[in-house]
């Protein structure tokens, strides 16, 4: 997921993704090894979620009345969740959710392209090739 974000020039790149997953894995696996009590592990999980919320909030910005970085913030949440799942020993589920998240991220690129093409075709037809070339995508 970090590679997908980095190739698109988004704030959460591959290094950040690796650090988020590694950090959350580290904290969860330490909680599991230090205390077999699931209540203690749940407390650690809750604190990780709080910290990750601050990371996500730091990625989002408002510019010209529009909010930017929401997808990157959501990716941070997913990465942290994956790290916690791995730390708790849910490896198979974390692989499945990684594939699902990548499908959503990569599929949205294709969907946007289709919608843009539809917008160009479905709106008022351009009269000349120059008009078509100058038509701005959504």
Domain residue limits, the chain: 2-108
Of 16-30, 41-55, 100-114, the poorest mean pLDDT is in: 100-114
DSSP 65-76: TEEE-HHHHHHH
Q: What is the pLDDT of residues 24-83, one digit of tens each?
A: 999 999 999 988 888 888 999 999 999 999 988 888 887 787 888 899 999 999 999 999
Handedness of CA 123, 126, 131, 133 (dihedral sign): positive
Report the C-alpha gap between 115 and 105 in whole angstroms. 16
H helices within the chain, ranges in order?
A: 2-7, 14-34, 38-59, 70-87, 91-122, 129-134
| 113 close to 51: Cβ distance less than 8 angstroms | no
Looking at per-residue confidence, does 119 or 67 come out higher?
67
Could you tell me the two tokens for 133? Answer: 């070339």
Segment 86-104 shows an average pLDDT of 94
pLDDT recorded at residue 11: 82
């Amino acid at each position: 997921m970090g590679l997908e974000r980095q190739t698109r020039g988004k704030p959460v790149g591959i290094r950040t993704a690796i650090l988020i997953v590694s950090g959350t894995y580290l904290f969860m696996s330490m909680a599991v090894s230090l205390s077999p009590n699931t209540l203690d592990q749940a407390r650690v999980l809750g604190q990780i979620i709080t910290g990750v919320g601050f990371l996500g909030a730091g990625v989002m910005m408002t510019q010209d009345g529009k909010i930017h970085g929401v997808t990157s913030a959501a990716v941070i949440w997913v990465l942290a969740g994956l790290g916690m799942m791995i730390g708790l020993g849910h490896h198979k589920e974390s692989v499945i959710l990684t594939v699902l998240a990548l499908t959503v991220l990569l599929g949205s690129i294709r969907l946007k392209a289709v919608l843009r093409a539809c917008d160009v075709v479905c709106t008022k037809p351009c009269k000349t090739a120059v008009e078509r070339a100058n038509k701005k995508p959504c």
